[in-house]
Each structure stands twice: as structure tokens, then as C-alpha cells.
Amino acid sequence: SRYEGLFAYCGYVALFLVGVHFFGSYTGLRALVRAAGIAAVITSAYGVLQVFIPPLFAGEAFIREWYSGPGIARVPSTLSSPVVFGGYLALMIPLLLATGISARGGSRYLWLSAACLALVALSLTLTRAAWVAAVLGLVVFAVAAGRSVWHPRILVAALAVVVMVSMGLLVTGVGRPAAIWSHVIASANIGSGSVAQRVYIWSRTLGLIGIRPWLGWGLETLGVVFPYDRASLVRVFGPRPTIIDKAHNDFLQMAVSIGVPGALAYAAVWGLVVWSVVRTWRRAAGSARILAAGWLAALTAYLVQVQFSFSVVALAPIVWLLAGSAAGWEAEIGDGR
């Protein structure tokens, strides 16, 4: 699920067009979001269960051990890594909230409970970029949805429950408080840990872009052309064998793969997608406006977290499909249908 060649990107474009032509309406986007939300409940629940049960699937034990550290155990659910799982949850939480707020009757509380479950699962990933992305997504949703949809008492109570449950699970099932705190504050230290690793990868990726700025090195070739230096790799990443096949920044990944012009075109596509959502949000009202706000927040969270991670086949298809559906909806509103 890590590798995205030409076939994968052709598939993404096809999914975008499917979204435009078959789900390009408020009803279509809502149906997709609800289907994705049901899947998110299952994925989130299994992520929480991983704190208490042994690995159930092939390769799961290795993934847990690889991404865990002294005193902490991170949960990947079914998405191959805590990083991808965290990015997935950052995308889905605003959509679950939007679905819950716009729903009626008892289903409203079921969807809001699903959002709380996803928040708990997100805390267990210990993925800091996903945490930041989720917070930014929630801020965007709060601003875009407006004050009228928020019930302060319910919101405060839900946040209190999420925080208490998350802290309890983190301390009892994920790791020692000191180890968890050390992992969190390591973000402020650019000289060690994952921050130093990102800086190391970005600096050398920029060097590769400088060598071939116009056409790049080709899709999924970074692992081959990356300038490996064993001494510096051990200093930054430790003694474990390390292959750098992703730039851990979506824009840099595209620039090193297809060149700066191609990366700018790729960024322009997502810029147009965001602008399309903003136009839809401005024109919509009621439940439709809440859904548009949820998608705008989810898209913001996704685009933020992939600047510290990377696009993967396990997550990107649903993003492209939803983007196509939202673009089709915006075109429908523009036509006055």
C-alpha cells in the first residue's frame, strides 16, 4: 500500500471521475460519507481493541513492534501503520461530526459517538502530525459550520469523556506516562527523533530535485536514487536497516518524482478542489452546508498531514472519490439544478 506508480494515479483520476459523474450531488456525497463512516467505526473499534488483544492478522505483530518504542505501543488498526491510521482518522473525524450534527433522532448520537470513538483511536496512534491535522480540521469545521450547530454542554461533556478515556487507555495499554510524554515533546527537538529524520529526508530530497528539476526521477524511484550514507543514517535513524522510499512530504514527493512543473500542477489540482469546496459551502444551506463544512475540514486535515507523511493506496482512493463527488456537487449547484 506504500507504492503509487502510474497505474495508481490513473486509478485515482478514474475514481475522481466516478465521483463527479455518479455521486456528484449532495445526496451522493452524503451517501459516500456515511458508507465511509461505517467503515471508520469498524477500523476505529479494532484500533482500540488492539490495546487489549494479541495480533489477529498476518504481519500485524511485526508492524506493532516496528512502530513501537521503549515504553510505548502504537496501534495501526488494519491500515499497515499508525501513521496511515492517524491520517485516516484525521480525515474521517470531521466527516463523522458533520454527519452526526446534520442527522436527526437517535442516529445523531450514534454518529457523534462514532466521532468520539475515532478521536480515542487517534490518540492511541501517537501520530503527532495526525494530531495537528485533526486539530486544524476541527478548527476549520467549527468556523465553517457556525455557532448554531454547537451545543456547548454536549460538546464539553463529549470532549471530557474522550480525554478521560484516551488518557486511561494511553496509560494502561499504550505505555508509561513518562515515555508517552517524551514521545510527544520530541516534536520540539529538531536534532533527534522523527523531526530530525524528516529534516534529513527533506534536505536530501531537495538536493535530488535540484539535480533534475524539470522531469524528476520517475514515480516511486526515490528508494533507488536516494543518496545513502551509512554513517549519517545510523546517526539519525539508528542501527536498523533503513530504506528511504518516501519524501514524507507530498509536494516534495511529487517534485522528486515528476519534476517541479508537475508538482506545481498537482498542487494546483488540490487548490482547485479546495476552492470548489469553499464555493459549495458558500452556496449551501442547512444540512448541506454542514456537510460541505465537514468535507472542507476533512480535506484540510488530509492535506496538512500528508505534508509530514505521504499518500498511500490504503487512504488516497476514498479522498479522490470524495473530492470528485464534491466537485460534481459544486457543478450541480452552479448549474442551478
C-alpha span between 303 and 311 (Å, rounded): 10
pLDDT value of residue 312: 94
- This prediction has a pTM of 0.92
Residue 106: its pLDDT value, please? Answer: 86
C-alpha cell read off for 309? 507523511
Q: Examine residue 19 and state whether it is found in any structural domain, yes or no.
A: no
Residue 335 falls inside a structural domain: no
Residue 336 falls inside a structural domain: no
Tell me what the mean pLDDT of segment 81-110 comes to.
93
**Chain segment 131-187, per-residue pLDDT in tens:** 999 999 998 998 998 865 666 555 555 665 666 666 555 545 555 555 554 555 555
Q: Is the pLDDT of residue 191 over 80?
A: no
pLDDT value at 39 more than 90 = yes
Tell me the C-alpha distance between 174 and 195, whole Å.
22
Q: Determine, yes or no, domain membership for 318.
A: no
Of 66, 87, 19, 135, the C-alpha closest to 314 is 87
CA–CA separation, 133 and 305 (whole Å):
6
Residue 141 lies in a domain: yes
37 pLDDT exceeds 90? yes
> Could you list the residue range(s) of the whole structural domain that residue 138 is in?
24-310
3 state SS of 69: strand
The per-residue pLDDT for 330 is: 95
Q: Tell me, yes or no, whether 14 lies in a domain.
A: no
- HSE on the CB side for 27, CA within 13 Å? 3
Domain assignment present for residue 7? The answer is no
Taking residues 230-234, report their average pLDDT.
Answer: 88
Number of domains comprising the chain: 1
- Is 212 domain-assigned? yes
Are 15 and 321 in contact, with CB atoms under 8 Å apart?
A: yes
Residue 140 is inside which H or E element, if any? helix 128-145
